[in-house]
Amino acid sequence: MSDSTETYVRFKSLRFLGYPDYRVGTDGSVETRKERRRGIGNAQGGWGVGKWKRIKEMKRGKYLAAVLSHGGKATPYSIHRLVLLAFVGDPPEGKPVACHNNGKHHDNRLENLRWDCQKGNLADRKAHGTERLGEQCHNSKLTDEDVRWIRKIWKGRLMTQKQMGIVLGRPEPTIQHVCVGRHWTHVRD
């Protein structure tokens, strides 16, 4: 008896998307049996059908994608969507987003994926600790320190929102959103 646990990977054809020479596995792998053949049939060679081979994934934003080609046209597809489309089917009404249950964008195993709504996907970010708030956002205009300063000054009524905006070099509405608690609610005083 062996201690190693062997996982069985099931594959489904991507023919339903118009790619008969591709298939996707429950482990998130994408394979093709297209291969470049040289000198078969004519001097230039061409494409033929061979053994199934895993294709190289590429990063598309924070997700993995596979480039599928047919009829001379190559198209990138997010692998997590391919897995769900092949094994679960089209997204149900109101749940068009392919979500990762564990929050790991490169884990495209079927058991880690589900269809959900955008609200569910955002709740996942919070639960997994991958939600980007405040300074973690690439387009943040304020720092946590700025927010604490704004609240302190606003609480003591030492400056107007417009004056604080001038000091920080930010528009008044940005300051107002901090003062009324609309934005930056995650920062504690």
Beta bridge partners of 115: 98
Classify residue 172 by its DSSP letter: H
Q: What is the pLDDT of residues 102-151, one digit of tens each?
A: 989 999 999 999 999 999 988 988 888 777 777 877 778 899 899 999 99
Sign of CA dihedral 7, 67, 131, 85: negative
Opening angle at CA 33, ends 56 and 111, nearest 5: 60
Torsion angle, alpha carbons of 104, 108, 111, 117, to 10: 70
Q: Which long-range contacts (CB under 8 A, 24 or more apart) does 155-164 make?
A: none
Higher pLDDT, 134 or 5: 134
Which three-class secondary structure state does DSSP give residue 74? strand
Question: What are the φ/ψ torsions at residue 139 (nearest 5 degrees)?
Answer: -110, 25
Q: How far apart are CA 172 and CA 170, in angstroms?
A: 7
Which three-class secondary structure state does DSSP give residue 118? helix
User: How many Cβ atoms sit within 10 Å of the Cβ of residue 171?
Assistant: 12
Q: What is the pLDDT of residues 24-80, one digit of tens each?
A: 999 999 999 987 656 555 445 455 677 899 999 999 988 999 999 988 899 999 999
Instruction: List, in sequence order, the alpha helices (H) in the chain.
Output: 79-87, 118-128, 144-155, 161-168, 172-179
Q: Are 179 and 153 in contact (CB under 8 A)?
A: no
Q: How far apart are CA 76 and CA 80, in angstroms?
A: 12
pLDDT given at position 2 = 44
pLDDT given at position 186 = 84
Tokens of 35: 């291969």
Which three-class secondary structure state does DSSP give residue 136? helix
Classify residue 27 by its DSSP letter: T
